Amino acid sequence: MWLLFLLVACVAAALSCAQLCRAAVAVARATGPAPRPAPAPVPDTAAPDGSAAGLTLYEMAYLSGGPHRLADVVLVLMAQQRRLLLAHTGWATVVDPVGQDPVERATLSAIGPDGQRRIPAIREALVADEAVRAVGDRLVAAGLALPAAARGLRNAVRQVQGATVLALLCAAAAYATAPAGEDRGQLLIWFTLPLILTLGTLAVARFELHPYSDWATDAGEERLPGRPGFTTFTPSSPAPVAPLASLMTLALHGPRALTDPALRAALHSSGA
């Protein structure tokens, strides 16, 4: 019986480590060593004329959490400027049907002519919209974002971590079900093989690939706040209601970092 547990642990470890290696190779191929020019800023209401020295809020959001994070940023931005109403039940209602940039206009189109829609549906419509894809395409072309073929590194790391836990559980099960008289210490030694494979792979990944990102390349990570090489931008004119610091926090860390409980409840209740 213990051989069956050992087989399960070894197969899970081998498959998950192979998947992580495949993801790492895809990332390496996508992130060439040659520097590429910075992308043209995407116009947003934090910098109405598009004159930003570094990344815009939309670009920060995309590099930090992909198109779903970008969708959250534009929804909160419009809500803080009183052009959308985000209810804690997860509904968005249009107050001002005039978009100030292509992403805002896409948001209004995603809400539809009724002027009200569930936030998850808006988010999914925005992810597929050309205006949001254009942000990602420019970042990919500039070498700051990973192309679609190179995504999945974070999930591959989680799979190896899961295989490690599975190996420990299989070892415990084999130990508990070992027949009387079996050398249980010798039995457990066999389970060090999948553990060495998974833990060794995780150690290499931690050293070579961390931070694990499905969106930003190393160059993109360096352009984000808190990393060397980050260039801070200053809005050419202050946004009247939307606090820049709050929006940057959302762009970089997601809805859980919002301090406004109403906005946090709206995004969380909608599955964010």
**pLDDT above 90: percentage of residues in the chain:** 27
Measured distance CA(263)–CA(74) in Å, rounded: 12
How far apart, in whole angstroms, are the C-alpha atoms of residue 233 and residue 271?
31
Give strand pairing partners of 84.
Answer: 94
The model's confidence at residue 31, banded by pLDDT at 50, 70 and 90, is: low
Better pLDDT: 266 or 43: 266
**Average pLDDT, integer, range 37-57:** 49
pLDDT at 57 over 80: yes
pLDDT in tens, 110-120: 999 888 899 99
CA-closest candidate to residue 82, choices 246, 264, 242: 242
This prediction has a pTM of 0.65
Q: Judge whether 166 and 8 are in contact, CB under 8 Å.
A: yes
Residue spans of the domains in the chain: they are: 2-30+153-208, 57-144+220-269
Q: Is the pLDDT of residue 231 over 60?
A: no
Q: Is 132 within 8 Å of 56 (Cβ atoms)?
A: no
Summarised one tens digit per residue, pLDDT across range 162-174 is 999 999 999 999 8
Structural contact between residues 42 and 56, judged by C-beta atoms closer than 8 angstroms = yes
